[in-house]
Amino acid sequence: MIVSDIKELIGKTPIFQFSATDYGGQDQSRIYAKLEYLNPGGSVKDRLGHHLITKGIAAGRITKDTTVIEPTAGNTGIGLALAGLAYGLEMIFVIPDTFSQEKQQLIKALGARIIHSPGLEGMQGAIEKAKLLAAQLPNSFLPLQFENQQNPAAYYRTLGPEIAQEIPGKITSFVAGVGSGGTFAGTGAYLKSIDSTIRLIAVEPEGSTLNGGPAHEHAIEGIGVEKRPVFFKNLMLDGIETISDSEGFYYTRLLAARYGLLVGSSSGAAFAATIRESKRLPKGSKIVTIFPDGGDRYLSKNIYGQLKEASSWNFAQN
């Protein structure tokens, strides 16, 4: 395939198939992972970045003189910066100072500027700082992925249909991580629209509050919430899986060592949750998940430390 525009490479990512029985699931059950880290900017948020910029231009909110400001853990910033290249847009991203250095370097490589917020304030602190900057800077545009309904719309129109078209037969469950909630809500809503019996299972790390647990820091990046996403207002969940850092990183390393899938820790958490889901479903079930980004943007955090069998748990016990 020959292309002349980087946007042509967004989407249509491959799907990796696993046998759920290898991890204690029922006979003939399968786990399907959409490899979104193979998008050109390295994450599922390439879809969102392209959608937000094109919709902003179409609505007259973005012109050649507009500065785009966005709070982000990194991947949305990369997706937005990638989409803005063709228009020569100035970009400013507010990122908590404890987040991945690799993602910040990639954002800078795409010509964007980074402003830090205190890591202890989490994404909420980054959101407030971005809003303050936008109020002070004339002709600025704040997409604000955490509130913008175009966030789930991006995935309802792209990722959901791709999954439905590419997975053979009936899908039993959709299991995916939740950060802003847009990817999960948009994809889940589309899948529910074509089959109301599909189970929707949200995945979060310990320290996230979706399941009612106490808020605290966690090493798994890219997913986790401080409050219930606004996009979940009309979305009925069938379950929430809360994954510990140790379990999430175990499966992140296993995916690399066993399958050659160099994914980030949110993918390891999602895979752990699909294994749990596979054990409660009948024979022949089909579980779909998303591997949102690659591990190359977390190397400074030793994401692929030596693979060790967990001492306190393993997949046969959970």
- Residue 149 buriedness (CB in 10 A; 0-12 / 13-18 / 19+): exposed
CA proximity to 220, closest of 278, 309, 292, 317: 292
Q: Examine the residue annotation and report whether 233 is marked as an active-site residue of this protein.
A: no
- Residue 306 buriedness (CB in 10 A; 0-12 / 13-18 / 19+): exposed
- CA 184, CA 236: separation in Å to the nearest integer? 12
Residues in contact with 189: Cβ distance below 8 Å, sequence separation at least 6, in sequence order: 152, 156, 160, 235
- CA 298, CA 105: separation in Å to the nearest integer? 11
- CA 121, CA 103: separation in Å to the nearest integer? 19
- CA 101, CA 221: separation in Å to the nearest integer? 12
CA proximity to 238, closest of 271, 183, 277: 277
Catalytic residue, candidates 45, 103, 129, 286: 45
Q: Could you tell me where the beta strands, DSSP code E, fall in the chain?
A: 15-19, 30-35, 67-71, 90-96, 113-117, 140-141, 173-177, 199-205, 239-243, 286-291
Residues designated catalytic: 45
